[in-house]
């Protein structure tokens, strides 16, 4: 299997996760290089969100290793992982509706070591999302869908992430807002933040990313440089409007890159 050239910031090795007796991830291995955007695509229920939740630590893997910047963090609770500057912008945003926008953002810098730079980072986030600044005293529950997604992105950025986990940032948004959100993602990339992106909007995801993994029913079935995946027959047929086939019909674990 080809090693990506720059040093990996995150590596998953043979990760297995279960909900109670139901196993959902069956040995996920993937690698995210510093400065890259890597995406995970795949159908509903494939295990993408589960993977990100295992990385941030709210789910405990039953097997496998999670190596962040050279150290295995699989045994650490979430608050000790977040201290190492990984942030998750979760599917469904998960803001605190009864707290102000500013309190929501500030909570993104909750670990004590992050707090001295809260004011500075708030300014940075407000610079990127002026609309949040206008509404900073409003309750987050009163924001529109697009603004809530901005707030969730902003909260993630407050942790000065070395690695940002983005789960379906455009889910449920009107097409015009989807554009806007992905422009923000592009801007975050320009700041040099490494991103692991899960997106239903596969066209977008593969255009914004350098490398991609295709996940189906808890397995990585395909991986490769994003432009190659865009042209891959299986991806074309299953996800990009080609005739939809049974996902299982394609040989599993075949890398698209030689």
Partner 1 sequence: MTFVDFLNLLIAALLLAGIYAVMSVGMTVIYGVMKIVNLAHAGFMMMGAYFAYELYQRLHLDPILAALLAFPFFFLVGVAVHWLLVRWLPHSDRPTLQSLLLMFGLWLVLQNIGYLIWGNTDRSILSPRTLALVHLGPIIISSLRLVVFVAAAGCMAVLEIALSRTWFGRSVRALIQNRYAGRIVGVDDEKTARLTFGMGIAFAGVAGALLATLYSFDPDFGRPFLLRAFVIIVLGGLESVSGVALGALILALVETFSILFVPASYQPAISFALLVVVLVVLPGGIAGLWAKRRRLA
Ligand X SMILES: Nc1ncnc2c1ncn2[C@@H]1O[C@H](COP(=O)(O)OP(=O)(O)OP(=O)(O)O)[C@@H](O)[C@H]1O
DSSP H helices in 77-217:
78-82, 101-107, 118-128, 130-134, 145-157, 175-190, 202-208
State the virtual CA torsion across 175, 177, 183, 189 in degrees, nearest 10: -100
User: Minimum Å distance from CB 42 to ligand X?
Assistant: 6
**Binding flag, residue 58, partner 1 (CB under 8 A):** yes
**Binding flag, residue 153, partner 1 (CB under 8 A):** no
- Is the Cβ of residue 44 or residue 98 nearer to ligand X in the bound state? 44
Nearest to 207 by CA among 159, 163, 241, 240: 240
Are the C-beta atoms of residues 209 and 189 closer than 8 Å to each other?
Answer: no
**Binding flag, residue 11, Mg ion (CB under 5 A):** no
User: Minimum Å distance from CB 173 to partner 1?
Assistant: 19
**Binding flag, residue 243, ligand X (CB under 6 A):** no
Residues 106-145 that bind partner 1 (CB under 8 A): 106-108, 110-112, 115
Single residue of 10, 51, 91, 218 touching Mg ion by CB under 5 A: 91
User: Minimum Å distance from CB 120 to ligand X?
Assistant: 34
User: Minimum Å distance from CB 88 to ligand X?
Assistant: 13
Are the C-beta atoms of residues 27 and 14 closer than 8 Å to each other?
Answer: yes
Single residue of 4, 27, 43, 78 touching partner 1 by CB under 8 A: 78
Q: Could you give the 3-state DSSP secondary structure of residue 217? A: coil
**Binding flag, residue 45, ligand X (CB under 6 A):** yes
Single residue of 48, 81, 85, 234 touching ligand X by CB under 6 A: 48
Single residue of 2, 75, 77, 242 touching partner 1 by CB under 8 A: 77
**Binding flag, residue 89, ligand X (CB under 6 A):** no
State the virtual CA torsion across 143, 177, 211, 72 in degrees, nearest 10: 0
What Cα–Cα distance (Å) separates residue 79 from each residue in 74, 113, 114, 157, 159? 12, 12, 12, 16, 12
Single residue of 31, 33, 49, 170 touching Mg ion by CB under 5 A: 49
What the block records as the tokens of 194 is: 């490494």
- Is the Cβ of residue 118 or residue 225 nearer to partner 1 in the bound state? 118
Find the radius of gyration of the CA atoms of the chain.
Answer: 18
Within a 10 A sphere around the Cβ of 253, how many other Cβ atoms? 12
Binding site for ligand X (CB under 6 A): 19, 22, 24, 42, 44-50, 91
Binding site for partner 1 (CB under 8 A): 56-58, 77-79, 82-83, 87-88, 90, 94-99, 103, 106-108, 110-112, 115, 155, 159
């Amino acid at each position: 299997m080809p090693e990506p050239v720059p040093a990996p910031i995150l590596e998953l090795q043979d990760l297995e996760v279960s909900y109670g007796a139901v196993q959902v991830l069956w040995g996920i291995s993937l690698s995210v290089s510093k400065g890259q955007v890597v995406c995970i695509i795949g159908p509903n229920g494939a295990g993408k969100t589960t993977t990100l939740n295992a990385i941030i630590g709210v789910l405990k893997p039953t097997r496998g290793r999670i190596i962040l910047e050279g150290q295995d963090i699989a045994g650490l609770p979430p608050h000790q992982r977040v201290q190492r500057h990984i942030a998750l912008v979760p599917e469904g945003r998960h803001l605190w509706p009864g707290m102000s926008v500013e309190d929501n953002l500030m909570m993104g810098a909750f670990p004590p070591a992050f707090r001295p730079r809260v004011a500075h980072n708030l300014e940075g986030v407000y610079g990127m999302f002026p609309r949040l600044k206008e509404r900073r005293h409003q309750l987050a529950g009163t924001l529109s869908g697009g603004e809530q997604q901005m707030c969730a992105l902003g909260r993630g950025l407050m942790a000065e992430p070395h690695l940002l986990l983005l789960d379906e940032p455009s889910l449920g948004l009107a097409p015009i807002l989807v554009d806007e959100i992905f422009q923000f993602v592009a801007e975050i990339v320009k700041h040099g933040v490494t991103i692991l992106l899960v997106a239903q909007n596969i066209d977008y995801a593969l255009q914004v990313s350098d490398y991609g993994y295709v996940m189906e029913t808890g397995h990585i079935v395909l991986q490769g440089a994003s432009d190659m995946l865009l042209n891959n027959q299986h991806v074309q047929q299953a996800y990009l409007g080609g005739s939809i086939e049974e996902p299982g019909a394609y040989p599993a674990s075949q890398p698209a890159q030689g």
